[in-house]
Amino acid sequence: MDVEFPSLAPPPSSQAPKLPIEAFLGALHGAAHQGNPGADLAAFEPRLLALDVRSPGEFAKGHIPGAINVPLFSDEERAMVGTLYKQNGRYEAIHAGLGCVGPRLPAILDVLKQRGAKPGDRVLIYCWRGGMRSGSVGWLLSLCDYKVSTLEGGYRSFRRWCKTVVGNERIPPPAPVVVLGGCTGVGKTAVLHELMSRGEQFLDLEGLAHHRGSAFGWMGQEPQPTNEAYENVLAMVVRRVSPEQPLWIEHEGVHVGQCLVPKGICGWVKSAPGGAMLVMQMEQSLRVQRLVEDYCSEESLQQPDWVDGLKSCVVASKGGLAKKLGGARVKAAVAALDNGEWDVVAAMMLDYYDKLYTQWAKETESANVLQVALPTIDAAANATLMQAALVGAAAAEAGLNALLAPAELVAGTAPAAAADAAAAADANAGVDASAAASGGEAAATPAGDAAAAAAAAAAEGVTFEGACRCGEVRVRTVGKPRSVSYCHCSVCRSLSGAPFSCQALFAAEQVRVDLGAGARLASAQTSKAVERHRCASCLSPVHATLWSGKLFAVPLGMLGQWRGPAASEGADTAEDGENSEACLTPLHHMYYNDRVMDVVDGLPKYGAGVRPGRGKPSQTGNLLSKDASVVLAGQLVPETGGGGHGGLGSGSNVLKKSPE
């Protein structure tokens, strides 16, 4: 009697389809560049069960984030099988390997059961090269009716992919990059986490490295990952970044503790492509307070050997500060730690790190460097200021197009923070356009729907009026100005005879110029986009026009009277007058590098303005480059810089223009 035996299962290669790396990662973590609004970009939640069947040592060195280790060999067995393969050939290696693997096969099925995987479910598997280890386990699971896919080329192909994402210094970022800088103790990490909670994208270089960056950065942290593991998770985070909003990165060096920052990310930090570098500025007393809270809180000091750990950071010659501080300061710091003088130690550390950061910050290649003064250590308040500064930088670079919808540029902020940021944006967004109206080489982009902007401004009901010195030319504006700026450019100075000028920027539809009988205007084209007009009789400056009259810049001297919406009804307009006067408060200084005198008033100071024809090509989803022909060529600079004509480089604390 003939007996039919069941056919043998096909070989592994035909049972487990091999997926290229992008398809494998898509199956494991979903489509690329979807973002993770309001949450950590590194909070991976695998969609499928992924098995790394390499040895425990291989897995610990680096693996695909989201995979679990189900080793086919121990580290010792892998070494033994590899040696047999080299010395005795394939057969002997396979024979020895089967002896090691056989007893483990039921345990592999148990792992799947414990993870909730049932026959019929899809499972992903990979080994080093996508060869026998993953193929063998895939064959086994296929026999048990699991739907198996393996990684083509194995883990080695994943490592090659990582290099293409973050490992090459010329790799473009997936989104406009905003680098958050500032001296030690300003609370950059706390602000970035607050921004992340508001929906911003944050590449946490320190958090993923388990290190805070300084000599004390390892304290209270988990052991650092290997460089390979660090690069793996960074590549996966970058894969997740959405191009529709900026990517925030903390200003780091080439390494965080023992972890090397990949070359591609180092390049983004250095140049902030498509975005800007925001530098947080804070008084040292506040930064000392912040450091004491971070490193010497009651909770930390209650941990065993915490103070000894602080001392080791100071006295260690390798990885510590002993060689950098010198013997005398090391002794003083240790004595202060013994006496519990935490603020004294913090101030000593800041003296060292501030000099280091100042030198390092000069290496930035970003064309947009904005310095933002912070009056508090509160992370939420500072995050709002950073968002407002970013909106202002965006509007300055994109021209008035960004002015018309400031809230869209801070999407994802908490309601109150969004309102504050939008208000600040509306105040600061016209920075460069206003400067363009006032000075020489400057220019601005058209405002788009200027009529709509004028209608919105007119709805606010504020009217400004004024006349030239002889009274033959009168100017009337309706609605709040889009921006009010001081300008230090050489053209404004030469035409006014003053160290700087001040003007308000309006849409053309907001401005009416009335000429008396026989009056006329004398005009002069002072740049390609700016034409200036004076009364021909008394030579008082009346206004400047931009972009063929689409925008008007009116000197504040012409707007000596105002009238609010209640004036025509005979109501008390005192309060309204105060609000109207506030509309004409200057918001910033432009072309401060060209100044002939220092001004200490707490206002932002831009080194230059918007210059046409020097921009870089815009990128898809680039928030800060809506017009490819316009870039912010200048930087915010400190209020004082040692005086001197032009200001550029005239003082040691003046930021110079970055290389083009």
In angstroms, rounded to a whole number, what is the distance separating the alpha carbons of residues 465 and 16?
Answer: 79
Q: Which residues have a Cβ under 8 Å from the Cβ of 47 and sit 6 or more positions away?
A: 27, 28, 29, 30
For 281, other C-beta atoms within 10 Å of its C-beta total: 14
In angstroms, rounded to a whole number, what is the distance separating the alpha carbons of residues 372 and 186?
Answer: 11
Gyration radius of the chain over CA positions: 32
Contact 434, 503 (CB under 8 A): yes
Catalytic residue among 127, 296, 492, 583: 127
DSSP 415-459: HHHHHHHHHHHHHHTTHHHHHHHHSTT------SSHHHHHHHHHT
In angstroms, rounded to a whole number, what is the distance separating the alpha carbons of residues 33 and 31?
Answer: 7
Instruction: Sort residue 130 into left (φ over 0), alpha (ψ -120 to 50) or beta.
Output: left
CA angle 12, 14, 15 (to 5 degrees): 65
Contact 458, 410 (CB under 8 A): no
In angstroms, rounded to a whole number, what is the distance separating the alpha carbons of residues 39 and 328?
Answer: 46
For 558, other C-beta atoms within 10 Å of its C-beta total: 23
Q: Which residues have a Cβ under 8 Å from the Cβ of 360 and sit 6 or more positions away?
A: 253
How do strand 646-647 and strand 521-525 relate by DSSP bridges? unpaired
Contact 311, 337 (CB under 8 A): yes
Which string of b and e fits 351-362 if b means at least 16 CB within 10 Å? ebbeeebeeebe
Helix (H, G, I), strand (E, B) or coil at 72: coil
Return the closest-CA partner of residue 484 out of 411, 434, 543. 434
Contact 36, 52 (CB under 8 A): no
Instruction: Check if 127 is active-site.
Output: yes
| Token code pair at residue 289 | 């307070």
Catalytically active residues are: 127
